[in-house]
Chains A and B, each alone.
Chain A
Amino acid sequence: MSILDSKIPEGHISKKWTDYKDHLRLVAPNNRPKIDIIVVGTGLAGASAAASLGEMGYNVKAFCFQDSPRRAHSIAAQGGINAAKNYQNDGDSVYRLFYDTIKGGDYRAREANVHRLAEVSGNIIDQCVAQGVPFAREYGGLLDNRSFGGTQVQRTFYAAGQTGQQLLLGAYSAISRQIGLGNVQMYNRHEMLDLVKVDGKARGIIARNLITGEIERHSAHAVILCTGGYGNVYFLSTNAMGSNVTAAWKAHKRGAYFANPCYVQIHPTCIPVHGTNQSKLTLMSESLRNSGRIWVPKKKEDAEAIRAGKLKPTQIAEEDRDYYLERRYPAFGNLVPRDVASRAAKERCDAGFGIEANDTMEGVYLDFSSEIRAKGKQAALVAGDHNPSEEKIMALGKAWVEEKYGNLFQMYEKITDENPYETPMKIYPAVHYTMGGVWVDYNLQSTIPGCFVAGEANFSDHGANRLGASALMQGLADGYFVLPYTVSDYLAGDIRTGKISTDSPEFEEAENNVRDLISKFLNNNGSKSVDHFHKRLGHIMWNKVGMGRNAQGLTEAISEIAALREEFYKEVYVPGDANELNPELEKALRVADFMELGQLMARDALQRNESCGGHFREEYQDAEGETLRDDENFNFVGAWEYKGMDINQSELHKEVLNYEYIKIAARNYK
């Protein structure tokens, strides 16, 4: 076990980034066109990085597996993006955003990175507005804000329930401009299948053209992975169907440490599972908790009657409702962080108060009736009606809700066939985001020199739990305001290197590995589909490496996954050819990596004998069911080194977290 060097600069936390930036090496404009950079993934982190580096004059090659860079899964983010602008004059500041993020992450994130994130957050909003991102505005023409979980200020900027879409289209417009100018070469429908190292440095990738099946070699002086999270290891998640860990995992297998894989965010407000043929879960934005109140019946018999279809939620009297978040956490109420809200929902459902009539009885209500009434009354007053009728109040209230959350309500109705303006939404936690990822230092560089990792794909900013509206912030901060500096510093050593040849034994070896694996799958002649195995893996992960974990379950999961993985290679059937569009083959290659990752996640969860953020070990909780951290023994980032096919041989390295500016304390939202 070694100690990892995170390369945090000296100096006071509020000056570190500025001073550090001032002393980083630069690459002069005339040298930049001689340098090639590969960016994999075109979500917020990837598109913003590729656009910014292209503008600077580097030769950028960008890759995405979708048919257009505009489709990356950042597009689906709903609620908003945080920034410490303090436009609302409610006490926000860079320090507060820094503090909230560290606390929200249950004191398991690196102080210096998080402070930098808070520092550049304001620039992100400026940049996006300049690009023409149409954020929500007040009548006076200034930007509007709302609240998100784990904060007591209004710092979230938004565009209805489509903030991710609007920000990604902003970044997409920036990268499109650079493609048009020839500074960025775009490879749509390409999937990275290996990282190529030459003399210990990341020097290229092997990619498969998903249309022709061609295996291509691409070289560069640096490789930036912005390939998102690994929530699809659970099969069912709110991630897009194509979201996968392959690029990050291939880098891991080539020597990049993988940090905190067990930190997974289970989002409290998703539409409950409907059946066994379901392929995907849908999120209902956390922003809804600004206006919705979460409850289950106080009486078990009411919950049973609801599940049996004999009672409707609207028939349960106010005094018979248990607004359990408001009851348990009066200071933050319905806006506690996601991990806290999810566990509280699970606790109520496990105790028999769930309201959904599915196999697992898992579901709670998210109710907008109080808000509809309050906003309706307010709107009537504004319109000069001091004695409005009940119908008018409800109509005005519904109109207010529609303007704030219209697309989410429509989405809910399409999926469930129920009208959330009239009856409360049914929701339940689902896998949503992964805080773990490739270990990176302060420069966002992995343990492989020249391989940088940004956005959800790295582990760096959210500790053991991410706060709402902070993923968009991190993606754009990394891509627009961090990588252009730190990547240039690295590349300053490469101005005399010249073009990297793809005609080397290293590229040859990587390409052959990819070809061998593809041919193995296509000639396997098994009898079961890829999805069959993926679902079984997801089942193990959700039951034993999900919202509640314990040593016994994790130990079982480790051996069950290893056995499943063996069966997968023996029994999987992959139809079609290598030289054509072959979605089953794409899935097989991704699931192969999920199998390895799943086992590592269980190992990581097993070694971490404490509860923190999204990692809840049932053995470590207090009398009220809150997480019990063990700061003495587990105040570290767990970074795993790949040691070959047997994941049980992977070796744990530690980066000890030093809290110099925030006093580490028990997280309290009461």
Chain B
Amino acid sequence: MASKTININLKIWRQKNANSKGSMETYKLDNVSTDSSFLEMLDQLNEQLVNERKEPIAFDHDCREGICGMCSLYINGEAHGPDRAVTTCQLHMRKFKDGETIYVEPWRAKAFPVIKDLVVDRSAFDRIQQAGGFVSVNTSGRTMDANAIPIGKAEADKAFEAATCIGCGACVASCKNASAMLFVSAKVSQLALLPQGQVEAQQRVLNMVKQMDEEGFGNCTNTGACAVECPKEISLENIARMNREYLKAMVAAE
């Protein structure tokens, strides 16, 4: 791998805690390897801050391979930065130029309050799942054999594609209405496409949408920004499918 280094300027959102007012602070960081990931660059900046006896920047991260969904960051006005189909931990510094100024902000949404610096509270997503994002099957060594119900490959693949959502919240952060439709519809779709999810499909979509609204997420106005910024390329088709499921369920409920 060709190692090159660049020098960059950073404007980063700093906020002491949920109750305080935040602001953008400026940092300069030299000798950043272009092979470093964006978060390794932040590690390097934090090391520098600690050595200067300043408080490092808090940001969420864990697996560093694009699957846990813990990392976030609004970079130069885009969720997970300028690259496509990646999370921030998979964004590499080779996407930036020497001398560039990079703006880093937390997810901005009413339903995702800032906890500190770049860390936000996404527990609203958990509560939506708790409202219905499951098949009500208890642990049992006596469920039917896994091959008892054949599932067409096309359906199984579609369900899988919806299920690859990592729950990072980029869709909400990218949406001008802070809508969570892409996230919710991915789960609704996964289970609606599989025979195992059919039994509770109607109640599920009603409960999840109700919880979504209660959490303060906005409405969907079909701008499609969510799907563009989604690191897992979750399709807008899922939103259409959820709308159909929701309508069906509403009609059935009346």
Contact = CB atoms under 8 A, between A and B. Distances in A.
B70 A278 contact: no
Contact of B115 (A159, A274, A581): A581
A274 B35 contact: yes
B135 A66 contact: no
Interface string A476-512: 0000110010000000000000000000000000000
Contact of B86 (A127, A136, A414): A414
A242 B62 contact: yes
Nearest to A120: B141
A137 B151 contact: yes
Contacts of A75: 63, 67-68
* Chain A interface residue number, banded: 35 or more
B21 interface: no
B223 interface: no
B143 A162 contact: no
A107 B157 CA distance: 39
A664 interface: no
Interface in A83-123: 85, 87, 120, 122-123
A241 B56 CA distance: 16
Given A71-B68, A240-B62, A411-B66, A127 B136 contact: no
Contacts of A69: 126
B242 interface: no
A141 B150 CA distance: 4
B125 interface: yes
Contacts of A279: 37, 39-40, 43, 64
A130 B146 CA distance: 7
Contacts of A51: 139
A159 B151 CA distance: 14
A177 B130 contact: yes
Interface residues of B, number: 80
B192 to A, nearest CB: 10
Interface in A64-85: 66-71, 73, 75-76, 85
B94 to A, nearest CB: 6
Interface in B86-129: 86, 90, 92, 94, 115-116, 119, 121-123, 125-126, 129
A141 B151 contact: yes
B38 to A, nearest CB: 11
A132 interface: yes
B239 interface: no
B141 A123 contact: yes
Would you call the interface of chain B mostly helix, strand, loop, or mixed?
loop
A584 B56 contact: yes
A241 B62 contact: yes
Given A131-B137, A282-B65, A575-B54, A416 B60 contact: no
Contacts of A159: 160, 163
Contacts of A581: 17, 58, 115-116, 119
Contact of B146 (A143, A162, A177, A584): A143
A465 B196 CA distance: 36
Contacts of B33: 274-275, 277
Contacts of A123: 141, 143
A300 interface: no
A75 B136 CA distance: 22
B123 A68 contact: yes
A573 B50 contact: yes
Contacts of A176: 126, 129-130, 133-134
Contacts of B160: 134, 136, 159-160, 166
A138 B153 contact: yes
A3 interface: no
A475 to B, nearest CB: 14
B191 interface: yes
Contacts of A139: 153
A328 interface: no
B140 A127 contact: yes
Most buried by B among A136, A529, A532: A529
B111 to A, nearest CB: 14
B176 interface: no
A415 B64 CA distance: 11
A458 interface: no
* Best-surrounded residue of B139, B151, B159 (most CB of chain A within 10 A): B139
B164 A162 contact: yes
A126 interface: yes
B137 to A, nearest CB: 5
Contacts of A180: 130-131
With most chain A CB atoms within 10 A of its CB, the pick from B60, B67, B140 is: B67
B11 interface: no
B83 A414 contact: yes
A68 B39 CA distance: 20
A580 interface: yes
Contacts of B167: 68, 70
Interface string A344-359: 0000000000000110
A481 B141 contact: yes
Interface in A44-70: 48, 51-52, 55, 66-70
B85 A529 contact: no
Interface stretch (A167-175, A193-201, A629-637): A167-175
B150 A140 contact: yes
Given A131-B134, A137-B151, A241-B62, A173 B129 contact: yes
A484 B40 contact: no
A68 B64 contact: no
A410 B126 CA distance: 28
A122 B143 CA distance: 11
Interface in A128-168: 128-132, 134-143, 159-160, 162, 164-166
B241 interface: no
7 contacts: A67-B60, A70-B69, A70-B126, A127-B139, A132-B194, A274-B35, A411-B65
Given A70-B126, A125-B146, 8 more contacts: A66-B70, A67-B123, A132-B191, A143-B146, A177-B134, A241-B61, A275-B36, A581-B119
> Which 6 A-B pairs have CB atoms at the shortest separation, nearest pair first?
A141-B150, A173-B134, A180-B130, A134-B160, A52-B139, A129-B146
